């Protein structure tokens, strides 16, 4: 009986320990960081945006939107991104070259801007 | 998502297990440590139901829901159970006990391992799952957050959300999880629901293991974990599966009570049913179904069973009433159908369509795999073996739950005759019938098996 019990215990314990150990042998599971919500464009791609900034606080995003609109960059909008931050951006950029040019003008006006792949 | 959150959940669930184990010990007595382990799943669910019920009642009468409430209630429950158990002369488990031997032990070992691997895989999903399920983020979890932040059933919030008349056991359990995790961590919350699933699996296997051989029992337990609508949703923070867990384990206990007449079985079933009627509106319907099935299965023993059953109904009813008073007082619409819901002649065509929909959902393998079909076969086999009580009890439960599903669709004209989740709750509701099938099949087949082996032992006449 004792031998049977030991064998049955081994049948249960060995796989139940081995399976999770094998599962995590390649590293523990991780969450994506907030930086991974930002995909900087390097060429033409569907859904390109020029992003002026990201904020934890909606009021700060609204301040930036008012600023860039005041100096002439009209048509920007605010949206919450996949990481829960408020994004001020210009949507509907048809090509990377055009987006890069807009971003350059915005930066020359004293703001931050980069072309990103939307999501 | 942190070690702190997982450690907090571990503490909370150990409190559920501890308080439930003291209740089972006080009501039943536990002779050995093996028996304690076998009934650990039942103890855990009894702990969730009893502690959760008290939390709900305290909230309804206006007691503030804080971290202290979360910790003190299970401890008070266990102290009361221990004092009561001592008065009944209960003693601590005196010896280790035996888990048996022979081929059955190895079948059970392989099955436990398989179930363990499946549950481990489910845990990895639960550990990182976002809050994507519609009902969960639309109202179940927001209600839990409201209780966590405000410490009360905030009138404006609770009356404005969808499902405002739904009983608050699940939000209360969510709020308890948030307290012990240290934040409203809606990702790690999925682990709490995974633990409910583990507790149910353990409770079912533990209860049935003394009545059905391992080779009959475990395929059905594994089938429960493999059924898409059950196994893939173990970690979803909604009330449907928790409701079914309470219902099915209570039904199994009531079945054993009909056969054995041990009072602890009905008493623990009553605890679970109290949790059930505070989990979802359908809990009241399922409680009524269980009572009717019990009366049908009791047959000639009706005189002996009606009084204990009446006590059970009175206790469950008393627990269900305060929440219903709360929402009526606060101007929330009732939870009954908008039509009378009782006159079949109101819309005969819709009635038949509704019942047909419930039957189609029950036998749809995309939701429940083969479980209901196999159980219907088991009912036939057991009927041939004249296991009358089991056949009548479980047959009545499956039929009545199915009719109940049909009644819900028929009585609420706003519901479309469709299994689409957004348009009709029939698939959610029929989980109760499926899990009843899964619990019933091993008992029915085991009784048929023992009848045939008894006949063989008697030899040719």
Tens digits of residue pLDDT in B104-134: 899 999 999 999 999 999 998 888 888 999 9
| CB-based contact B99 A5, cutoff 8 Å | yes
Lowest-confidence region among B3-12, B169-178, B319-328, B338-347: B338-347
**Percent of chain B residues past pLDDT 90, beyond the cut:** 82
Q: pLDDT at position B334, please?
A: 63
Residues 6+ apart with CB under 8 A from B286: B243, B247, B276, B401, B404, B432
- Examine the pLDDT at B202 and tell me if it is beyond 90: yes
pLDDT at B44: 98
Mean pLDDT of A71-91: 92
- Interface probe, candidates A3, A6, A11, chain B, greatest B C-beta count within 10 A: A11
Q: Do B1 and A31 touch (CB under 8 A)?
A: yes
Question: Whole-number mean pLDDT of chain B?
Answer: 93
- Pairing assessment for the beta strands A77-80 and A86-93 based on DSSP bridges: antiparallel
Helix and strand numbers (H, E) in chain A are: 3, 4
Lowest mean pLDDT among A1-10, B177-186, B300-309: A1-10
* Chains A–B, number of C-beta pairs less than 8 Å apart: 41
Residue range B254-303, pLDDT digits in tens: 999 999 999 999 999 999 999 999 999 999 999 999 999 999 999 888 88
Distance from CA of B135 to the nearest CA of A (A): 21
Least confident of B31-40, B127-136, B259-268, B306-315: B127-136
Q: What is the pLDDT of residue B460?
A: 45
Q: Does B311 touch chain A (CB under 8 A)?
A: no
* B100/chain A closest Cα distance in angstroms: 9
Percentage of residues in chain B having pLDDT higher than 70: 95
| Cα–Cα distance, A85 to A108 (Å, whole number) | 25
Q: What is the mean pLDDT of residues B412-422?
A: 90
Q: Which of A8, A19, A23 sits opposite B109 (nearest CB)?
A: A8
Residue A81's pLDDT band, with cuts at 50, 70 and 90, is confident
* d(CA B113, nearest CA chain A) in Å: 5
B461 has pLDDT over 50: no
pLDDT-derived band at A1, boundaries 50, 70, 90:
low
pLDDT category at A2 given cuts 50, 70, 90 is confident
Residue in A closest to B1 by C-alpha? A31
**Which residue in the set A7, A8, A23 is minimally distant from B124, CB to CB?**
A23
Contact A99, A72 (CB under 8 A): no
- Convert the pLDDT of each residue in B217-261 to its tens digit: 999 999 999 999 999 999 999 999 999 999 999 999 999 999 999
Is pLDDT of B457 > 60? no
What is the C-alpha to C-alpha distance for residues B272 and B276, in angstroms, rounded to an integer?
A: 6
Tokens of B396: 């009545």
For CA atoms B205, B209, B212, B215, the dihedral sign is: positive
Residues whose CB is less than 8 angstroms from the CB of residue A61 and which lie 6 or more positions away in sequence, other chains included? A53, A54, A55, A78, A86, A87, A88
| Higher-scoring residue by pLDDT: B157, B81 | B81
**Would you state the pLDDT for residue B111?**
95
CB B245 within 8 A of CB B274: no
User: What is the average per-residue pLDDT within A48-57?
Assistant: 95
Nearest-by-CA chain A residue for B107: A8
pLDDT in tens, A57-75: 999 999 999 999 999 999 9
Q: Are B13 and B43 in contact (CB under 8 A)?
A: no
Per-residue pLDDT of B93-104, as tens digits, reads 988 888 877 888
- CA distance to partner chain A, nearest, from residue B163 (Å): 27
Residues 6 or more apart in contact with residue B48 via CB below 8 angstroms: B16, B20, B173, B196, B199, B242, B275
**Confidence label for B74 from pLDDT (cuts 50, 70 and 90):** very high
Residue contact A12–B116, C-beta within 8 A: yes
pLDDT band for position B338 (50/70/90)?
low
> What pLDDT score was predicted for residue B52?
98
- List pLDDT tens digits, range B364-390: 999 999 999 999 999 999 999 999 999
Q: Please name every residue paired with A117 in a beta bridge, in sequence order, or none if there are none.
A: A48
Asked if residue B162 lies in contact with residue B139, where contact means CB atoms within 8 angstroms, the answer is yes
- When pLDDT is cut at 50, 70 and 90, the band that residue B341 belongs to is low
N-term to C-term CA, chain B? 68
């Amino acid at each position: 009986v004792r031998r049977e019990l030991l064998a049955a215990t081994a049948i249960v314990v060995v796989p139940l320990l081995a399976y999770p150990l094998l599962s995590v042998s390649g590293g523990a599971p991780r969450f994506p960081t907030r930086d991974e919500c930002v995909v900087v464009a390097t060429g033409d791609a569907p859904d390109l945006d020029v992003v002026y900034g990201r904020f934890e606080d909606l009021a700060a995003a609204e301040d930036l939107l008012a600023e860039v609109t005041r100096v002439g960059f009209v048509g920007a909008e605010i949206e919450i991104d996949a990481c829960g931050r408020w994004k001020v951006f210009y949507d509907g950029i048809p090509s990377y070259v055009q987006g890069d040019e807009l971003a350059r003008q915005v930066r020359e006006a004293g703001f931050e801007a980069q072309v990103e792949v939307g999501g | 998502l942190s070690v702190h959150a997982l450690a907090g959940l571990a503490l909370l669930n150990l409190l559920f297990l501890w308080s439930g184990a003291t209740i089972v010990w006080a009501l039943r007595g536990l002779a050995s440590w093996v028996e304690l382990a076998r009934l650990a799943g039942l103890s855990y669910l009894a702990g969730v139901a009893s502690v959760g019920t008290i939390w709900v009642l305290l909230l309804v009468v206006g007691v503030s829901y804080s971290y202290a409430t979360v910790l003190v209630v299970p401890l008070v429950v266990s102290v009361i159970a221990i004092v009561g158990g001592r008065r009944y002369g209960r003693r601590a488990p005196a010896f280790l006990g035996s888990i048996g031997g022979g081929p059955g032990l190895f079948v059970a070992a392989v099955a436990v391992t398989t179930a363990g691997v499946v549950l481990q895989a489910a845990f990895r999903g639960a550990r990182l799952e976002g809050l994507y399920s519609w009902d969960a983020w639309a109202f179940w979890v927001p209600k839990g957050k409201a209780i966590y932040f405000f410490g009360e059933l905030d009138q404006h919030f609770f009356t404005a959300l969808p499902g405002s008349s739904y009983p608050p056991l699940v939000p209360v359990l969510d709020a308890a999880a948030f307290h012990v995790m240290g934040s409203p961590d809606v990702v790690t919350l999925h682990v709490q629901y995974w633990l409910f699933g583990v507790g149910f699996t353990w409770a079912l296997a533990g209860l049935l293991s003394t009545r059905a051989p391992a080779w009959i029992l475990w395929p059905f337990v594994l089938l429960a974990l493999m059924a898409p609508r059950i196994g893939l949703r173990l970690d979803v923070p909604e009330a449907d599966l928790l409701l079914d867990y309470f219902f099915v384990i209570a039904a199994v206990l009531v079945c054993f009570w009909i056969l054995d007449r041990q009072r602890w079985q009905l008493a623990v079933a009553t605890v679970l049913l109290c949790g059930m009627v505070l989990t979802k509106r359908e809990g009241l319907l399922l409680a009524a179904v269980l009572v009717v099935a019990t009366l049908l299965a009791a047959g000639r023993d009706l005189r002996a069973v009606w009084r204990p059953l009446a006590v059970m109904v009175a206790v469950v009813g008393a627990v269900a009433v305060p929440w219903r008073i709360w929402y009526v007082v606060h101007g929330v619409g009732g939870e009954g159908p908008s039509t009378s819901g009782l006159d079949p002649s109101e819309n005969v065509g819709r009635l038949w369509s509704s019942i047909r929909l419930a039957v189609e959902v029950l036998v749809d393998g995309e939701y429940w795999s083969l479980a209901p079909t196999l159980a219907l076969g088991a009912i036939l086999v057991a009927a041939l073996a004249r296991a009358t009580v089991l056949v009548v009890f479980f047959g009545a439960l499956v039929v009545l739950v199915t009719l109940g599903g049909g009644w819900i669709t028929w009585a609420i004209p706003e519901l479309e005759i469709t299994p689409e989740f957004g348009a009709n709750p029939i698939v959610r509701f029929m989980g109760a019938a499926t899990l009843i099938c899964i619990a019933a099949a091993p008992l029915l087949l085991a009784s048929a098996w023992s009848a045939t082996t008894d006949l063989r032992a008697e030899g040719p006449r």
